[in-house]
Amino acid sequence: MTAPQFNSWQTVHDEVLRRIHAREWPPGCAIPNEADLATEFGCARATVNRALRVLAEAGLLDRRRRAGTRVALHPVRKATLSIPLISAEVVARGLRHGYTLLVRSEARPPAPVRAQLGTGARPLLHLIALHTADAAPYVFEDRWVNTAVVPGIRDVDLTQETANAWLVANAPFTHGDIAFSAAAATGAEATHLGCRPGSALFIVERTTWNGPAPITLVRLAYAPSYRMQTAI
């Protein structure tokens, strides 16, 4: 009669997960309420609550007040990708990170950049740089910085420090958006990444804001064969 004890939210979490995977609670199935589970597992309701909350955040359970908890019909799996500094990303692969500033100017941005940032026709700081990993080209970076919001960046020696490193340390953003796509290498990208123009490149475009003020828009073109990978 030694019913197994589930006295930590982790063990409850794992047991519920097991029942879902074992289809003891198939998709769409309503599961017992927290109070009953707490009794069954011999723990407090708060413990069950935490376990179920974590599973709901992972997309495996649907919870609604009064309606109860049920196993998600279409478990919308969520992939979480961390967005490190490129230097950290390179170092994490055991390679040496290099960085060369190719262009630094203040210019009126083209229409798509203006539209995305909403800064109108004012000149912005335009930076183009190349990141390398153990001397091999890694990422071609094309960035626009809203100097009206971060004027301090004008006084930074961006040949020594990457714009991104300076920005994360000095102009933290409150929110942003990120988009992933594929594009044919432009002439400049091909030259610096050591591939043929038209090669398929993995593109990351990121825009960040500090409250209502747009800070920066960056387009990263990764060298061919780059893969962004994560567990689900």
Partner DNA sequence: ATCGGCAATATGTATGCACATATAACCCCT
Partner DNA sequence: AGGGGTTATATGTGCATACATATTGCCGAT
Q: Pairing between strand 68-71 and 213-222?
A: unpaired
Residue 181 contacts DNA per CB under 7 A? no
Query: Which residue lies nearer to its own copies by CB, 50 or 108?
Result: 50
Q: Return d(Cα 171, Cα 169) in angstroms, integer.
A: 6
Residue 115 contacts its own copies per CB under 8 A? no
Instruction: Please report how close the Cβ of residue 176 comes to its own copies at its closest, in angstroms.
Output: 5
Query: Which residue lies nearer to DNA by CB, 35 or 228?
Result: 35
Residues forming a β-bridge with 203? 181, 221
Q: In terms of Cα–Cα distance, which of 110, 140, 112 is closest to 124?
A: 110
Element (H, E) at 125: strand 124-133
Residue 157 DSSP SS3: coil
Query: Which residue lies nearer to DNA by CB, 9 or 138?
Result: 9
Q: Return d(Cα 118, Cα 107) in angstroms, integer.
A: 15
Q: Return d(Cα 109, Cα 119) in angstroms, integer.
A: 9
Residues forming a β-bridge with 132? 98, 137
Residue 136 contacts DNA per CB under 7 A? no
Residue 136 contacts its own copies per CB under 8 A? no
Stretch that binds its own copies, among 120-128, 142-150, 154-162, 168-176 (CB under 8 A): 168-176
Taking CB under 8 A as the criterion, the residue among 114, 116, 210, 213 binding its own copies is: 210
Q: Which residues contact 116 (CB under 8 A, 6 or more apart)?
A: 207, 217
What residue 178 binds from DNA, its own copies, none (CB within 5 to 8 A, per partner kind)?
A: its own copies
Residue 65 contacts its own copies per CB under 8 A? no
Stretch that binds DNA, among 4-12, 147-155, 184-192, 203-211 (CB under 7 A): 4-12
Query: Which residue lies nearer to DNA by CB, 8 or 170?
Result: 8
Element (H, E) at 107: strand 97-107
Residues forming a β-bridge with 7? none
Taking CB under 7 A as the criterion, the residue among 33, 100, 105, 181 binding DNA is: 33
Stretch that binds DNA, among 6-14, 86-94, 98-106, 199-207 (CB under 7 A): 6-14
Query: Which residue lies nearer to its own copies by CB, 84 or 123?
Result: 84
Residue 40 contacts its own copies per CB under 8 A? no
Instruction: Please report how close the Cβ of residue 33 comes to its own copies at its closest, in angstroms.
Output: 22
Q: In terms of Cα–Cα distance, which of 127, 138, 126 is closest to 98?
A: 138
- Work out the number of other CB atoms within 10 angstroms of the CB of residue 191: 14
Residues that bind DNA (CB under 7 A): 7-10, 33-35, 42-47, 49-50, 52-53, 56, 63-69
